[in-house]
């Protein structure tokens, strides 16, 4: 595994490049590549590497990157959850993947989980050339996610988060240092995510570069992040992995995206919570399904089917 970097809107983003460990999916044009990024406020060392290892073992190159302002990537402000910036970084990462030695630029797959599980859908639509999409435990509708927060934490929590978001926005307009709030916390605390079990879930998968803080203005944009709206425009095959008991990213929004994607969509549902798909038996089953999906769509792509 090598560490490489690429530029996105003037900042250097850091990434891991895993080389395919066999050539079963190779052609004269090269090997396919899976491009991966993390969820809400997280870093590339947050539970993604086990999936990347499975993909590399199965014959794909893999690029796992940190967004601007996160982990070891450059970029200001730090810790800014912005779906628009994240999508820009995905496009820069895809362009980098297409230039990697030995990679077939026609066989790029975009992979996302949680918040990035939503990003990959509009990214794939805007790119128009990716060979496939994998989306697991996805945040497909920010408005539905805010309603979910209202249900488990109350309207008072939404108002409190909005107040902190406006305070941070004021800081940005005045050129002051960001006003930060925690990404995750226990029920009743001030944090963007306070669902039951969320704090323990984050602690289970987060790596050493994770910082439990975010620019508070990020909460103001959540409602505008609605990847479900792009689903009907998708022309690439997509695998949706749904966590049926997800209390953070509403699974109903994922099913709505799958319906809009129509014949391009394949869904697999697990009777688990948001963080269960990263570990144990659920991880093993989900990763195996994802490898099977990659084999199907990439074999079709390389034969021109």
Q: 102-140 pLDDT, tens per residue?
A: 999 999 999 999 999 999 999 999 999 999 999 999 999
Q: How many domains does the chain have?
A: 1
What confidence tens digit (pLDDT) does each residue in 155-212 have?
A: 999 999 999 999 999 999 999 999 999 999 999 999 999 999 999 999 999 999 999 9
Q: Is residue 200 part of a domain?
A: no
Q: Quick one: tokens of 107?
A: 């066989």
Q: Is residue 260 part of a domain?
A: yes
Q: Is residue 199 part of a domain?
A: no
Q: Is residue 105 part of a domain?
A: yes
Element (H, E) at 75: none
Which pLDDT score, from 0 to 100, does residue 303 have?
46
Q: Is residue 256 part of a domain?
A: yes
Cβ contact 75:22 at 8 Å: no
Look over the chain and give the mean of its residue pLDDT values, rounded to a whole number: 94
Q: Quick one: tokens of 117?
A: 């599980």
Q: Is residue 187 part of a domain?
A: no
CATH assignment of the domain containing 253: 3.40.50.1820
What is the domain extent for residue 124?
2-141+226-303
Residue 27 gets the label, from left (phi > 0), alpha (psi -120 to 50) or beta, of: beta
Q: Measured between alpha carbons, how far is 216 from 191 in angstroms, rounded to an integer?
A: 9
Q: Is residue 193 part of a domain?
A: no
With a pLDDT cut of 70, the percent of the chain lying above it is 98
Cα angle 261, 267, 270 (rounded to 5 degrees) comes to 145
Q: Is residue 49 part of a domain?
A: yes
């Amino acid at each position: 595994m090598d560490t490489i970097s690429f530029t996105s809107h003037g900042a250097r983003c850091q990434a891991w490049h895993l080389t395919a460990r066999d050539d079963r999916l190779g052609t004269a044009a090269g090997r396919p590549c899976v491009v991966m990024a993390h969820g809400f406020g997280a870093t590339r060392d947050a539970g993604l590497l086990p999936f990347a290892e499975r993909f590399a073992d199965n014959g794909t190159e893999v690029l796992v990157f940190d967004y601007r302002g996160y982990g070891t990537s450059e970029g200001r402000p730090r810790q800014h959850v912005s779906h628009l910036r994240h999508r820009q970084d995905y496009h820069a990462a895809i362009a980098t993947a297409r230039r990697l030695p030995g990679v077939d630029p026609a066989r790029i797959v975009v992979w996302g989980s949680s918040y990035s599980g939503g990003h990959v859908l509009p990214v794939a639509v805007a790119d128009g050339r990716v060979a496939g999409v994998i989306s697991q435990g996805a945040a497909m509708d920010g408005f539905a996610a805010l309603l979910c927060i209202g249900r488990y934490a109350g309207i008072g929590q939404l108002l409190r988060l909005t107040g902190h978001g406006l305070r941070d926005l004021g800081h940005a307009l005045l050129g002051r240092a960001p006003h930060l709030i925690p990404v995750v916390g226990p029920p009743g605390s001030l944090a963007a995510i306070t669902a039951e079990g969320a704090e323990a879930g984050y602690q289970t998968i987060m790596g050493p570069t994770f910082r439990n803080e975010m620019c508070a203005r990020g909460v103001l944009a959540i409602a505008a992040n609605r990847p479900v709206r792009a689903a009907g425009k998708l022309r690439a095959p997509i695998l949706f992995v749904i966590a049926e008991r997800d209390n953070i990213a509403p699974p109903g929004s994922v099913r709505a995206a799958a319906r809009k994607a129509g014949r391009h969509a394949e869904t697999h549902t697990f009777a688990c919570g948001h963080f269960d798909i990263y570990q144990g038996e659920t991880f093993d089953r989900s990763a195996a399904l994802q490898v099977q999906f990659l084999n199907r769509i990439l074999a079709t792509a390389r034969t021109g089917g």
